[in-house]
Amino acid sequence: MRSGANVSVDGARRAEILETAARLFASSGLRTSLKQIADACGILPGSLYHHFDSKEAIVVELIERYRLDLDHIAKQALDDLHGPEPVPEKILALGEAIAACGARHRAAVLQSFYEPPSSAGDQLVRVAQLTPTAIETAMLETLRAGRDTGDIRPGIDLETLAERLCETMLYISLGEFRDVRGADQLPALRCHIVLDGVAVRPPDDAELDGSSALAAAQQVIDSWGAADEHEDPRVAHLRAVARTEFGRRGYEATTVRDIAAAAGLSTGSVYRTIGSKDELLASIMGALPDAVASGWTSVLASDATSVEKLDALMWVNVNVVLRFSDEYNIQLAWLRESPPSTSDLGQNFPTLLRELKALLAEGARAGELRIEGPSADLRAWSLFDPMWMHENLVRRVGARAALSLGRDTVLRGAAPRA
């Protein structure tokens, strides 16, 4: 029979392994090996197996701890719902609590926010795919309370907004902001954007629908499939299959043999047709930044107000997520396998952030945009994520409804104007 002291030592060692694994997964991704975890703990790999039978078992426990933390935050928010604080303060407090939870459990967020790799076991697939319904319900009930008190405008899709708010708060944990001045204000800045909007004069839909910026965006969106019409059908088929496999499995877990089998070709035929796996990935992934860049460039060059340009950029983003969903998921899989060490979440992110900073400055000078933040970088970064929407939401509500939610929050603000 094991003594209490031994149980206590085992518990402490198990907690140490979990904390060490969480730190390594957060910085180095799922490629972190059990040996690396054991070395960081100062123990032999065999001793680690005394506590966990696999790396996947560690990941499962980290995700379960993360879910329990989120559920606790949700319960606290619902318990506080009838307290004396104004509803906007409750929304802000809940958003900040979700962001802090994501930061505490960054490794678990990386492993559970996206589809698990196809090689994952049943238990990991189960826990990774569980929807954090408790926290979304808490946010939804808080928003509903705000609508009842007149702090949230009628006519806004609160279910989608609740899910979007939870996502955008958790997304903050995917970048590293420790060395950025004012980084601790980012959750509050994003909540204020959603509640207050950035347009000084809230535009109506007719005005936005008739803008030259939206017309420029649509022209680019309509051109995205033109190049595919002239591609060799064999190459086009192989590229389409590879996009799906990379998006489903992740780049590192997908082999040329996997692609060949899915395409109904021999491995040799794949190499002769498209070259190496690296070359195949490069030919696929180039389309995503090119599409974003072309859309943003056309919109920003249009003869339109800064508010109309922001609206059109959101329309470009919505359609990018739909048109290039496989490329989008491949990029997300990269984040899971190799977490970023900076706030840069994409290869053309620095250019987009610079362009957004310039647009915000232009809008502020013209008296068209207002946005809080201690620096131009934080103001642009606080707006960047709310201008996008995750693929699951866009597909569920549709492109036009996604744009409407962006207009009702980012531009006009969910709260009524004074």
Reported as a single tens digit per residue, the pLDDT across 320-337 is 988 888 777 776 665 555
Taking the mean position of all CA atoms in its chain, how far away is CA 69?
A: 20
Query: Residue 164 and residue 239: Cα distance in Å, rounded?
Result: 32
Specify whether the CB–CB gap between 412 and 202 falls below 8 A.
yes
Closest by alpha carbon to 338, among 134, 174, 208? 174
Q: Does domain 1-53 bear CATH number 1.10.10.60?
A: yes
What SS3 class is residue 369?
A: strand
Specify whether the CB–CB gap between 283 and 265 falls below 8 A.
no
Give the CB-side neighbour count of residue 59, counting CA atoms within 13 A: 29
Residues with Cβ within 8 Å of residue 268, at least 6 apart in sequence: none
Query: Residue 133 and residue 138: Cα distance in Å, rounded?
Result: 9
What SS3 class is residue 210?
A: coil
Residues with Cβ within 8 Å of residue 348, at least 6 apart in sequence: 289, 292, 293
Superfamily of domain 175-411 in the CATH hierarchy: Tetracycline Repressor, domain 2 (1.10.357.10)
> 1-53 and 175-411 share one CATH topology?
no
Tokens representing residue 2 in the block: 């094991």
Phi–psi pair at 112, nearest 5 degrees: -115, -15
What SS3 class is residue 199?
A: strand
What SS3 class is residue 346?
A: coil
Specify whether the CB–CB gap between 188 and 98 falls below 8 A.
no
Tokens representing residue 4 in the block: 């209490």
| Residue segments in the chain with a per-residue pLDDT below the cut of 70 | 1-9, 113-130, 174-180, 226-231, 247-253, 331-347
pLDDT score for 119 = 58
CA distances from 219 to 134, 223, 296, 399 (A): 41, 6, 12, 16
Query: Residue 175 and residue 342: Cα distance in Å, rounded?
Result: 6
Helical spans, DSSP H, in 130-211: 133-148, 158-171, 186-196, 205-209
pLDDT score for 341 = 45
Specify whether the CB–CB gap between 58 and 37 falls below 8 A.
yes
Give the CB-side neighbour count of residue 296, counting CA atoms within 13 A: 20
Specify whether the CB–CB gap between 145 and 175 falls below 8 A.
no
The domain spans of the chain are 1-53, 55-174, 175-411
Specify whether the CB–CB gap between 291 and 347 falls below 8 A.
no
Query: Residue 363 and residue 305: Cα distance in Å, rounded?
Result: 8
Specify whether the CB–CB gap between 315 and 214 falls below 8 A.
yes
pLDDT score for 241 = 85
User: What's the N-to-C CA distance of the chain in angstroms?
Assistant: 69
Query: Residue 138 and residue 143: Cα distance in Å, rounded?
Result: 9
What SS3 class is residue 214?
A: helix
Burial 240-251 (b: 16+ CB within 10 A, else e): ebbbbbbbbbbb
